[in-house]
Amino acid sequence: MNGEIKITSALISVFYKDGLEPLVRMLDKAGVTIYSTGGTFTFIESLGIKAHTVESLTDYPSILGGRVKTLHPKVFGGILGRRSLASDIAEMKQYQIPPFDLVVVDLYPFESTLASGAPHEDIIEKIDIGGISLIRAAAKNYRDVLVVPSSKHYGELEQILTANNCTTTIDERLRFAAYAFAESSNYDSAIFNYMGEQSGHREFRGTAGEARKLRYGENPHQKGEFFGNLNEVFEQLHGKELSYNNLLDLDAAVSLIREFTETTFAILKHNNACGVATRPRLTDAWKAALAGDPVSAYGGVLITNTHIDDEAAAEINLLFFEIIVAPGFEKNALELLKSKKNRIILQAKSFDSQPKQFRTILNGVLQQDRDLKTETSSDFRVVTQSGPDSVAAKDLVFANIIVKHSKSNAIVLARGEQLLGSGVGQTSRVDAVKHAIDKAKAFGLDLNGAVMASDAFFPFADSVEIAHQAGITSVIQPGGSVRDEDTIDYCNKNNLSMVFTGSRHFKH
């Protein structure tokens, strides 16, 4: 019989009432006896549905300002009692403890209270005690009880109740128990992280949502999963499933494009930009971005911060690429881009990025703040006799954004808000400079009057000298080398402008 249990009694105690009405009406129609607390009881009664207060069961009122409502043997006994154990049944009968087949509970909004900037006392009051205890108890006794720990599971429960005449199977109860422990562990992790930060006691606790199985990891012999809700980030309009490597590229692409407010197009390969351009018209931005490295663009990830129109789509469609991301697509543009069945088309949504970054290493985890610092011309410290003019300053900001999002050691060359060449992931900075110059020359791009951005300081003047010989006239870098004066002297002798930002942007 798959451990089937007919729901005849339910305990419902929720903070949020949204979406509760259809479920309560369904239970009432099925003749389920409902017990409830406080505001939930009032809400159910307002629907014209009969319910029993928990106080009528326990003979104790809600006390301590609502801190203690359900913490009573008659409540927890009805949840934890094992129906297959004669001694449990006998004790429940002896102490007049009614069994609960269904427990519907959610938790006080701790995380949203914390995020609101509320005072410490208010945050502490949003640490749920009764709710979390009910959830854990019902989940532990999943053989006899179905627990619903959040309103996001109401729809699934309603489908089960409708299909099976208010009867649940052991597999369904086990699945909901897993939902419950996921909810409780997320909740406890959030509380610990706050209390740990307040007290100075730090341990790693992190949660990231439900698993999404991927075809494989970085390589076919590696298993891969994504934990989180991609539906909050993109709407997939077309194409095959996203892979592990796709997601790494998308993370890099989204992080880069978010830095730009004017119409910009970027092309990425292996997490690095191989083409970026800002233009008034999207088609022009696309063409300029592609010109930066049309070879690497093949099979790449395309992203823009502007709706894709028919004209741009016609040009973009000439290239073989794997993914395209935009905030929107004109109807005909979308249909044209759908002409390749495996091409992944994503409509970007507004979402909040994780403020922390994590990486597993050795036998532990590294954590750091996300690099959210983006320099503007007001952050420039001109260290040469002449500073950049307004056009060069705009290009310096543009290049510095791209180098920030490139693998170290990284150098970016740009002019007219177009990426001309980059050297990324190099073991020496001078090699990165040479690689960037070679890239630009390979595609016939003129570096005369271009600017150079570096993610970290130049240890010697040789990098600037090589760049100058290639046509570079202005440089942006963090500064901080013991040999900064050598680089500044070279710039002054050769009429280059150079600015320091004071901020390094290593990316490994």
Active site residue ranges: 140, 270
**What whole-number distance in Å separates Cα of residue 109 and Cα of residue 111?**
6
Q: CA 9, 14, 18, 24: dihedral to nearest 10 degrees?
A: 10
Task: Return contacts of 15-23, CB within 8 angstroms, 24+ apart.
Answer: 15/106, 15/107, 15/108, 15/109, 15/131, 16/106, 16/151, 17/43, 18/151, 19/151, 19/154, 20/104, 20/151, 20/154, 21/47, 22/154, 22/158, 23/104, 23/154, 23/157, 23/158
As a residue count, the chain comes to 508
Strands 301-304 and 356-361 turn out to be unpaired
Strands 323-326 and 301-304 turn out to be parallel
Q: Residue 75's closest CA among 94, 60, 90?
A: 60
Could you tell me where the DSSP H helices lie in 356-428?
A: 390-404
**Lookup: tokens for 25:** 């009406």
**Lookup: tokens for 504:** 């390094």
Please tell me what DSSP assigns to residue 200.
Answer: T
Q: Which residues pair with 102 in a beta bridge?
A: 10, 146
Side chain identity at residue 37, one-letter code:
T
**Lookup: tokens for 387:** 């500073």
Angle at 490 between CA 489 and CA 492, to 5 degrees: 65
Q: CA 36, 40, 41, 46: dihedral to nearest 10 degrees?
A: -150
